Amino acid sequence: MPAPGAAEARGAGGEVPEVPGPDAARGPTIGAAAEQTDEQADEQADEQANEQAAALAELDDRWRRALADLENLRKRHAKELDRERAAERARTAAALLPVVDNLELALSHAEADPGSIVEGVQAIHDQAVAALARLGYERQGETGVPFDPARHEVVGVVEDPEAEPGTVVQVLRPGYGEPGHQLRPVTVAVAKRE
């Protein structure tokens, strides 16, 4: 038997009307809010992606500029180095020009007075040694000093009763410059150790 009042709850056709439940009032609101939240999240994600893409593009641009600056710096440094080398070669050649000029002058006068050629060659030698000294390579070639491997190259050992063992007794070829800044060491013979 039907419950009392059930017939009244039915409509004229005997159908039971739908009664909205407690969630029915929230249903459309939650769904709309969820859709709105999804749209906001998508917009935020797109905005973040755009910001990250812009930041990445800026970093890429800065990297490429830095790379180009580095390459330009390398090229500029190579050019400056070439200029410095050329200038140094020119200074060295200019220091030797007077020597060459005087050699040519001595050779042209050699036939007129053969005895004067020795004086001329000695003067040219002195001029060449002075030019090397101006370039920072003074002539080294003293005897009677203790052997120094930083300055001397031994090519012979001789007996010399008057010299201390290990002392330079003969200079076979002078050196030019100081240790650490040498064109070549002094080639020497030293006194034999007993």
Tens of pLDDT along 120-155? 888 889 999 998 898 888 999 999 999 999 999 999
- Whether 173 shows a pLDDT value over 80: the answer reads yes
* Residue 103 resides in a domain: no
Average pLDDT over residues 97-119: 80
For residue 168, what are the domain limits? 136-194
Number of domains present in the structure of the chain: 1
* Residue 70 resides in a domain: no
| Cβ atoms of 151 and 140 closer than 8 Å | yes
Q: What are phi and psi of 123, to 5 degrees?
A: -65, -40
Residues 6 or more apart whose CB falls under 8 angstroms from that of 11 comprise 17
Q: What average pLDDT does the chain have? A: 83
Q: What is the pLDDT of residue 170?
A: 94
Least confident piece of the model among 61-65, 132-136, 143-147, 168-172: 132-136
* Residue 170 resides in a domain: yes
Tell me the CATH number at 161: 2.30.22.10
* Residue 151 resides in a domain: yes
How many residues appear in the chain? 194
* Residue 166 resides in a domain: yes
Task: Measure the CA–CA gap between 37 and 52, rounded to whole angstroms.
Answer: 22
* Residue 194 resides in a domain: yes
The more confident residue out of 40 and 110 is: 40
* Residue 46 resides in a domain: no
Beta bridge partners of 139: 176
